[in-house]
Structure 1
Amino acid sequence: MYHLWYLGVRKAAAGKGTGTSLINELIEDAKAADRPIYVESRIESNTAWYKKRGFRLYYELYHAGRHWSCLRIENHNQFQEAYT
Protein backbone atom coordinates (compact mmCIF):
# COMPACT_ATOMS: atom_id res chain seq x y z
CA MET A 1 0.00 0.00 0.00
CA TYR A 2 1.16 3.51 -0.82
CA HIS A 3 -0.03 6.45 1.24
CA LEU A 4 0.78 9.70 -0.51
CA TRP A 5 1.62 12.09 2.29
CA TYR A 6 2.32 15.22 0.28
CA LEU A 7 2.64 16.24 -3.34
CA GLY A 8 3.28 19.78 -4.45
CA VAL A 9 5.19 21.88 -6.92
CA ARG A 10 6.53 25.41 -6.73
CA LYS A 11 4.25 28.13 -8.06
CA ALA A 12 6.57 28.65 -11.03
CA ALA A 13 6.03 24.99 -12.03
CA ALA A 14 2.25 24.96 -11.46
CA GLY A 15 0.19 24.11 -14.52
CA LYS A 16 3.16 22.81 -16.50
CA GLY A 17 2.62 19.10 -15.94
CA THR A 18 5.21 18.60 -13.20
CA GLY A 19 2.69 17.31 -10.64
CA THR A 20 1.03 15.13 -13.25
CA SER A 21 4.39 13.60 -14.17
CA LEU A 22 5.09 12.86 -10.51
CA ILE A 23 1.72 11.26 -9.82
CA ASN A 24 1.83 9.26 -13.06
CA GLU A 25 5.20 7.83 -12.01
CA LEU A 26 3.77 6.84 -8.63
CA ILE A 27 0.70 5.29 -10.31
CA GLU A 28 2.90 3.25 -12.64
CA ASP A 29 5.07 2.07 -9.73
CA ALA A 30 2.01 1.08 -7.68
CA LYS A 31 0.49 -0.67 -10.69
CA ALA A 32 3.67 -2.70 -11.25
CA ALA A 33 3.75 -3.66 -7.56
CA ASP A 34 -0.01 -4.34 -7.53
CA ARG A 35 -0.46 -1.98 -4.58
CA PRO A 36 -3.21 0.55 -3.86
CA ILE A 37 -2.53 4.27 -3.41
CA TYR A 38 -4.28 6.36 -0.77
CA VAL A 39 -4.31 10.15 -0.41
CA GLU A 40 -6.18 12.70 1.68
CA SER A 41 -6.99 16.18 0.45
CA ARG A 42 -8.65 19.11 2.15
CA ILE A 43 -8.53 21.46 -0.83
CA GLU A 44 -11.43 20.99 -3.25
CA SER A 45 -9.40 21.80 -6.37
CA ASN A 46 -6.79 19.23 -5.35
CA THR A 47 -9.51 16.62 -4.84
CA ALA A 48 -10.74 17.28 -8.38
CA TRP A 49 -7.14 17.02 -9.65
CA TYR A 50 -6.72 13.57 -8.07
CA LYS A 51 -10.10 12.41 -9.40
CA LYS A 52 -9.07 13.46 -12.90
CA ARG A 53 -6.08 11.12 -12.56
CA GLY A 54 -8.15 8.08 -11.60
CA PHE A 55 -8.50 8.38 -7.83
CA ARG A 56 -11.93 7.63 -6.40
CA LEU A 57 -13.49 9.17 -3.31
CA TYR A 58 -14.04 6.60 -0.56
CA TYR A 59 -14.60 8.72 2.55
CA GLU A 60 -15.25 12.30 3.59
CA LEU A 61 -14.48 13.67 7.04
CA TYR A 62 -15.67 16.90 8.60
CA HIS A 63 -13.75 17.87 11.74
CA ALA A 64 -13.04 21.18 13.48
CA GLY A 65 -14.42 23.18 10.58
CA ARG A 66 -12.33 21.35 7.99
CA HIS A 67 -13.37 19.02 5.20
CA TRP A 68 -11.12 16.13 4.24
CA SER A 69 -11.61 13.99 1.14
CA CYS A 70 -10.05 10.54 1.23
CA LEU A 71 -9.26 9.05 -2.17
CA ARG A 72 -7.70 5.86 -3.49
CA ILE A 73 -6.75 3.78 -6.49
CA GLU A 74 -7.06 0.12 -5.58
CA ASN A 75 -7.10 -2.06 -8.65
CA HIS A 76 -5.84 -2.28 -12.20
CA ASN A 77 -9.25 -1.41 -13.65
CA GLN A 78 -9.02 1.98 -11.96
CA PHE A 79 -5.48 2.42 -13.28
CA GLN A 80 -6.80 1.84 -16.79
CA GLU A 81 -9.63 4.37 -16.23
CA ALA A 82 -7.08 6.98 -15.19
CA TYR A 83 -5.46 6.89 -18.60
CA THR A 84 -8.54 6.68 -20.83
Structure 2
Amino acid sequence: MINASYEDKYLIVDILTKSFDTNKSVNYIVKQDQKRIARIRSLMDYSFEMCYHYGDVYLTNDKKGCALVLYPHKKESSLKSILLDVKLILRCIGIENIGKAMKRESAIKQLQPKIPMYYLWFIGVDAKHQNNGIGSQLLEFVIADSEEKQLPVFLETSTLKNLPWYQKFGFKIYNELQLSYKLFFLKREFKV
Protein backbone atom coordinates (compact mmCIF):
# COMPACT_ATOMS: atom_id res chain seq x y z
CA MET A 1 0.00 0.00 0.00
CA ILE A 2 1.11 3.53 -0.64
CA ASN A 3 0.17 6.90 0.76
CA ALA A 4 -1.69 8.55 -2.08
CA SER A 5 -0.36 11.82 -3.42
CA TYR A 6 -2.53 14.75 -4.38
CA GLU A 7 -1.94 13.78 -8.02
CA ASP A 8 -3.84 10.53 -7.32
CA LYS A 9 -7.00 12.44 -6.41
CA TYR A 10 -8.77 12.05 -9.78
CA LEU A 11 -8.15 8.29 -9.81
CA ILE A 12 -9.34 7.85 -6.21
CA VAL A 13 -12.47 9.96 -6.78
CA ASP A 14 -13.19 7.88 -9.90
CA ILE A 15 -12.79 4.53 -8.07
CA LEU A 16 -15.03 5.65 -5.19
CA THR A 17 -17.66 7.26 -7.43
CA LYS A 18 -18.09 4.01 -9.34
CA SER A 19 -17.89 1.84 -6.21
CA PHE A 20 -20.58 3.82 -4.37
CA ASP A 21 -22.89 4.59 -7.30
CA THR A 22 -25.74 2.44 -5.89
CA ASN A 23 -24.90 2.83 -2.18
CA LYS A 24 -28.00 3.70 -0.12
CA SER A 25 -26.17 5.94 2.34
CA VAL A 26 -24.42 7.91 -0.39
CA ASN A 27 -27.60 8.30 -2.43
CA TYR A 28 -29.51 9.41 0.67
CA ILE A 29 -27.23 12.44 1.03
CA VAL A 30 -26.69 13.18 -2.68
CA LYS A 31 -29.34 15.23 -4.45
CA GLN A 32 -31.16 12.89 -6.82
CA ASP A 33 -31.37 14.60 -10.19
CA GLN A 34 -29.81 14.39 -13.65
CA LYS A 35 -26.46 15.40 -12.10
CA ARG A 36 -26.45 12.56 -9.55
CA ILE A 37 -23.15 10.99 -10.72
CA ALA A 38 -21.42 14.40 -10.75
CA ARG A 39 -22.80 14.97 -7.26
CA ILE A 40 -21.38 11.64 -6.04
CA ARG A 41 -18.04 12.73 -7.55
CA SER A 42 -18.31 15.94 -5.52
CA LEU A 43 -18.92 13.92 -2.33
CA MET A 44 -15.87 11.77 -3.05
CA ASP A 45 -13.82 14.88 -3.87
CA TYR A 46 -14.86 16.39 -0.52
CA SER A 47 -14.05 13.15 1.31
CA PHE A 48 -10.63 12.95 -0.37
CA GLU A 49 -9.83 16.55 0.64
CA MET A 50 -10.92 16.02 4.26
CA CYS A 51 -8.91 12.80 4.61
CA TYR A 52 -5.91 14.24 2.79
CA HIS A 53 -5.78 17.09 5.33
CA TYR A 54 -7.12 15.40 8.49
CA GLY A 55 -6.33 11.73 7.98
CA ASP A 56 -4.73 9.39 5.46
CA VAL A 57 -5.48 8.38 1.90
CA TYR A 58 -4.19 4.97 0.85
CA LEU A 59 -3.91 3.43 -2.58
CA THR A 60 -3.03 -0.15 -3.45
CA ASN A 61 0.28 -0.57 -5.24
CA ASP A 62 -1.55 -1.49 -8.45
CA LYS A 63 -3.80 1.58 -8.00
CA LYS A 64 -6.99 -0.48 -8.22
CA GLY A 65 -8.22 0.11 -4.67
CA CYS A 66 -8.22 2.91 -2.12
CA ALA A 67 -9.18 3.77 1.44
CA LEU A 68 -9.99 7.14 2.96
CA VAL A 69 -9.25 7.38 6.68
CA LEU A 70 -10.23 10.33 8.84
CA TYR A 71 -9.00 11.13 12.36
CA PRO A 72 -11.97 13.15 13.70
CA HIS A 73 -10.02 14.14 16.81
CA LYS A 74 -7.48 15.90 14.55
CA LYS A 75 -10.04 17.68 12.38
CA GLU A 76 -10.14 21.39 12.98
CA SER A 77 -12.46 24.08 11.80
CA SER A 78 -10.60 26.35 9.40
CA LEU A 79 -11.37 28.53 6.42
CA LYS A 80 -10.43 25.59 4.18
CA SER A 81 -12.80 23.15 5.93
CA ILE A 82 -15.63 25.71 5.86
CA LEU A 83 -15.11 26.30 2.13
CA LEU A 84 -15.11 22.54 1.54
CA ASP A 85 -18.41 22.26 3.45
CA VAL A 86 -19.99 25.05 1.37
CA LYS A 87 -18.76 23.42 -1.84
CA LEU A 88 -20.26 20.09 -0.69
CA ILE A 89 -23.63 21.74 -0.06
CA LEU A 90 -23.70 23.50 -3.42
CA ARG A 91 -22.33 20.68 -5.59
CA CYS A 92 -23.61 17.56 -3.84
CA ILE A 93 -26.35 17.92 -1.26
CA GLY A 94 -28.35 20.86 -2.59
CA ILE A 95 -29.55 23.75 -0.50
CA GLU A 96 -33.05 22.25 -0.14
CA ASN A 97 -31.54 19.09 1.45
CA ILE A 98 -29.35 20.82 4.06
CA GLY A 99 -31.81 20.08 6.88
CA LYS A 100 -32.02 16.39 5.97
CA ALA A 101 -28.22 16.12 5.74
CA MET A 102 -27.64 17.93 9.02
CA LYS A 103 -30.23 15.79 10.82
CA ARG A 104 -28.53 12.61 9.51
CA GLU A 105 -25.04 13.80 10.48
CA SER A 106 -26.27 14.79 13.94
CA ALA A 107 -27.83 11.34 14.45
CA ILE A 108 -24.59 9.65 13.33
CA LYS A 109 -22.44 11.82 15.62
CA GLN A 110 -24.71 10.98 18.59
CA LEU A 111 -24.10 7.25 18.04
CA GLN A 112 -20.34 7.51 17.47
CA PRO A 113 -18.15 7.51 20.59
CA LYS A 114 -16.30 10.72 21.45
CA ILE A 115 -12.85 9.14 21.51
CA PRO A 116 -9.79 9.29 19.26
CA MET A 117 -10.51 6.90 16.41
CA TYR A 118 -9.39 5.60 13.06
CA TYR A 119 -12.51 6.33 11.00
CA LEU A 120 -12.63 4.32 7.78
CA TRP A 121 -14.79 6.68 5.75
CA PHE A 122 -14.58 4.92 2.38
CA ILE A 123 -12.92 1.81 1.02
CA GLY A 124 -13.37 0.87 -2.61
CA VAL A 125 -11.98 -1.19 -5.46
CA ASP A 126 -12.19 -0.46 -9.18
CA ALA A 127 -15.35 -2.24 -10.39
CA LYS A 128 -13.41 -4.25 -13.01
CA HIS A 129 -11.18 -5.70 -10.30
CA GLN A 130 -13.62 -6.46 -7.49
CA ASN A 131 -13.85 -9.93 -5.94
CA ASN A 132 -10.14 -10.59 -6.50
CA GLY A 133 -8.97 -10.01 -2.91
CA ILE A 134 -7.85 -6.40 -3.40
CA GLY A 135 -10.38 -5.07 -0.87
CA SER A 136 -9.37 -7.70 1.68
CA GLN A 137 -5.68 -6.80 1.31
CA LEU A 138 -6.57 -3.15 1.71
CA LEU A 139 -8.66 -3.81 4.81
CA GLU A 140 -5.86 -5.93 6.33
CA PHE A 141 -3.50 -3.00 5.77
CA VAL A 142 -5.97 -0.57 7.36
CA ILE A 143 -6.30 -2.84 10.42
CA ALA A 144 -2.51 -3.17 10.78
CA ASP A 145 -2.12 0.60 10.39
CA SER A 146 -4.78 1.28 13.04
CA GLU A 147 -3.06 -1.12 15.43
CA GLU A 148 0.27 0.59 14.83
CA LYS A 149 -1.42 3.91 15.63
CA GLN A 150 -3.21 2.23 18.59
CA LEU A 151 -6.61 3.49 17.47
CA PRO A 152 -9.84 1.50 17.16
CA VAL A 153 -11.36 1.41 13.67
CA PHE A 154 -14.90 2.70 13.24
CA LEU A 155 -17.06 2.73 10.11
CA GLU A 156 -20.64 2.66 8.92
CA THR A 157 -22.18 0.63 6.13
CA SER A 158 -25.63 0.44 4.60
CA THR A 159 -24.68 -2.54 2.44
CA LEU A 160 -25.96 -5.73 4.06
CA LYS A 161 -23.74 -8.01 1.98
CA ASN A 162 -20.66 -6.25 3.38
CA LEU A 163 -21.49 -7.08 7.02
CA PRO A 164 -20.12 -10.68 6.94
CA TRP A 165 -16.99 -9.41 5.17
CA TYR A 166 -16.28 -6.85 7.89
CA GLN A 167 -17.15 -9.34 10.63
CA LYS A 168 -14.65 -11.81 9.14
CA PHE A 169 -11.99 -9.17 9.91
CA GLY A 170 -13.08 -8.77 13.53
CA PHE A 171 -15.54 -5.90 13.23
CA LYS A 172 -18.59 -5.93 15.46
CA ILE A 173 -21.87 -4.06 15.05
CA TYR A 174 -22.25 -1.66 17.96
CA ASN A 175 -25.29 0.31 16.80
CA GLU A 176 -27.84 0.82 14.04
CA LEU A 177 -29.66 3.87 12.70
CA GLN A 178 -32.94 3.63 10.82
CA LEU A 179 -33.30 6.24 8.09
CA SER A 180 -35.01 5.38 4.81
CA TYR A 181 -32.45 2.55 4.97
CA LYS A 182 -30.61 0.87 7.85
CA LEU A 183 -27.13 2.15 8.66
CA PHE A 184 -24.92 -0.24 10.62
CA PHE A 185 -22.17 1.09 12.91
CA LEU A 186 -19.13 -1.17 13.21
CA LYS A 187 -15.97 -1.07 15.25
CA ARG A 188 -12.81 -3.07 15.63
CA GLU A 189 -10.70 -2.61 18.75
CA PHE A 190 -6.93 -2.59 18.36
CA LYS A 191 -4.97 -5.33 20.07
CA VAL A 192 -2.66 -4.16 22.81
Task: Pick the TM interval, shorter chain.
Answer: 0.7 to 0.9
Query: Equivalents in 1 of 2:141, 2:188: separation in Å?
Result: 14
Could you tell me the percent identity over the aligned residues? Answer: 32
- Provide Cα deviations, 1:19-60, integer angstroms capped at 9, x if missing partner: 011111010011112110001000101122111111011001
Query: Equivalents in 2 of 1:7, 1:29: separation in Å?
Result: 14
Query: Equivalents in 1 of 2:169, 2:130: separation in Å?
Result: 16
Identify the structure with the greater helix proportion: 2
Q: Aligned pairs, how many?
A: 76
Partner of 2:129: 13
Partner of 2:181: 66
TM-score (norm 1): 0.83
Runs (4 or more) in structure 1 with deviation over 6 Å come to none
The answer for unaligned runs of 5 or more in structure 1 is 78-84
Q: Which has the larger radius of gyration?
A: 2
TM-score (norm 2): 0.38
Shift of residue 75, structure 1, vs aligned partner:
3.3
Whose relative contact order is higher, 1 or 2, with alpha carbons under 8 Å and at least 6 apart? 1
Could you say what the CA RMSD is over the residues aligned between the two structures, in angstroms?
1.2
2:142 corresponds to 1:22? no
Query: Equivalents in 1 of 2:165, 2:124: separation in Å?
Result: 12
